Amino acid sequence: MFIFDLQVSNYRNYAHAAVRLGRGVNLFVGDNAQGKSNLLEAVYLLSTLRSSRASSDADLVRRDILQTEFPVARLTCQVERSAGNLQLEVAVVGRTTDPSHRAGKRVRVNGIAKRASEAVGQLAAVLFTTLDIDIVAGPPLLRRRYLDMMISQVDRGYLRAMQKYARVLVQRNGLLKRIQEGAAAATELAFWDQELAHAGGIIMHARAEALGQLILQTGIHMERLTDGQESVGLTYKPALGGLDEADCPIDDTEWTARTLRAFHDLRRREISAGTTLVGPHRDDIVIEINGMAAGGFASRAQQRTAALSLRLAEAAYLRRALGDDPVVLLDDVLSELDVRRRRGVLDYVDNFQQTLVTTAEPDRVRDIMTKAAGRFMVRGGTLTPFEGG
């Protein structure tokens, strides 16, 4: 798929901007703090309905209008897809003083109001940023988020299970606290155990399946980007309280049964901790480079290449699951790569229908400048056609 029209209003540092985009590479050039990342964040938001940067909805609304009566950022795009063309509109309502205006996001798909969970993934996108290295070097939360954002674009059941899991987890933790304080009976857990284990089973099964597909692709990219010098390994580490992980469950029902067993085995510890100790909210993926833990042993360059390989594998995963290309977003990542890795990334994303590339250093992307379908200058929240120079 590819976006042929993109418009934003009162969004971040943009008052209003509209661009026609083409198939192939579209290049956005501009100095620092002009709005390049904001624009790719807008595309990512249209795809996932979540910001790529941790922020509240109010942060997305242009600061100048935030104090007005009805502060709304609007994002719109038109997409050509093999499953039929798509018009997508997201309105982000910032904090309001008027109680009749609810803050939050509203979505329209082809003009019809939809729930967020129905709109996620209508536009598929994979975003590469300079922060991706933290998928490899950072805490487990970022590896879970990597999987979650990828799978929820292609699997609505996963998204629903995630939402349910989050709700039930809060309930169950509250109950564990009350049992610990003697204000509730342990028998009350049975219902919440079932609910949580059921949603958790769906999540863990989907994560294990997705990872199974990613392992091969990630390995291929890592080898290709390093001329066969480096290898990468991925292992799913479900947090199930020391159950035998070699004996891997084969479907969500088995994952649910495992979770219930873990709840049973850890009953006393969970009550004394007053919180849920097992389940997908504590999962991790172990990443190894050349057989050693990537977080602790690998060099920064090795970690960066592994993260790049994970994103390339994500693009392949989305394409396979959707039968259509995701839009590839490269935010500032090319300038930090050496020539071989840059070539490796560009050669691969060349296979996808559309790529949006940002850079503050046009001199470093001369090669793609000449063949880019669209070239734009980003300056203070405005977009103008750019001829290069």
- The residue ranges that bind ligand ATP (CB under 6 A) are 12-13, 30, 32-38, 59, 61-63, 332, 360, 378
Residue 286 binding target from ligand ATP, Mg ion, none, CB below 5 to 8 Å by type: none
Residue 197, strand partner residues:
none
Residue 62 binding target from Mg ion, ligand ATP, none, CB below 5 to 8 Å by type: ligand ATP
Q: Which is nearer to ligand ATP, 130 or 163 (CB)?
A: 130
Distance CA 289, CA 298 (A): 7
Least Å distance, CB 15 to ligand ATP, is 9
Residue 32 binding target from Mg ion, ligand ATP, none, CB below 5 to 8 Å by type: ligand ATP
Least Å distance, CB 13 to ligand ATP, is 4
Torsion of CA 49, 54, 60, 66, to 10 degrees: 130
Q: Which is nearer to ligand ATP, 28 or 236 (CB)?
A: 28
Q: Which is nearer to Mg ion, 6 or 120 (CB)?
A: 6
Rg of the Cα atoms in the chain: 22
Least Å distance, CB 361 to Mg ion, is 12
Least Å distance, CB 379 to ligand ATP, is 9
User: Residue 61 in contact with residue 72, Cβ under 8 Å?
Assistant: yes
Least Å distance, CB 332 to Mg ion, is 5
CB-nearest residue to Mg ion: 37
Contacts 24+ apart (CB under 8 A), 193-196: 193/260, 193/263, 194/260, 195/164, 195/168, 196/165, 196/168, 196/169, 196/172, 196/259, 196/276, 196/279
Q: Which is nearer to Mg ion, 36 or 281 (CB)?
A: 36
User: Residue 333 in contact with residue 361, Cβ under 8 Å?
Assistant: no
Q: Which is nearer to ligand ATP, 12 or 281 (CB)?
A: 12
Least Å distance, CB 92 to ligand ATP, is 10
Distances (CA, A) of 90 to 6, 105, 282: 12, 7, 32
Q: Which stretch binds Mg ion (CB under 5 A): 37-45, 114-122, 190-198, 206-214?
A: 37-45
Distances (CA, A) of 19 to 3, 27, 50: 10, 12, 22
Q: Which is nearer to ligand ATP, 180 or 335 (CB)?
A: 335
Distance CA 29, CA 335 (A): 12
Residue of the chain from 26, 34, 37, 122 that contacts Mg ion (CB under 5 A): 37
Residue 126 binding target from Mg ion, ligand ATP, none, CB below 5 to 8 Å by type: none
Q: Which stretch binds Mg ion (CB under 5 A): 30-38, 85-93, 111-119, 150-158?
A: 30-38
User: Residue 125 in contact with residue 154, Cβ under 8 Å?
Assistant: no
Residue 300 binding target from Mg ion, ligand ATP, none, CB below 5 to 8 Å by type: none
Distance CA 82, CA 89 (A): 19
- φ, ψ dihedrals at 379, nearest 5°: -145, 115
Max CA pair span of the chain: 73
Least Å distance, CB 12 to ligand ATP, is 4
Least Å distance, CB 82 to ligand ATP, is 31
Where along the sequence are the contacts to Mg ion (CB under 5 A)?
A: 36-37
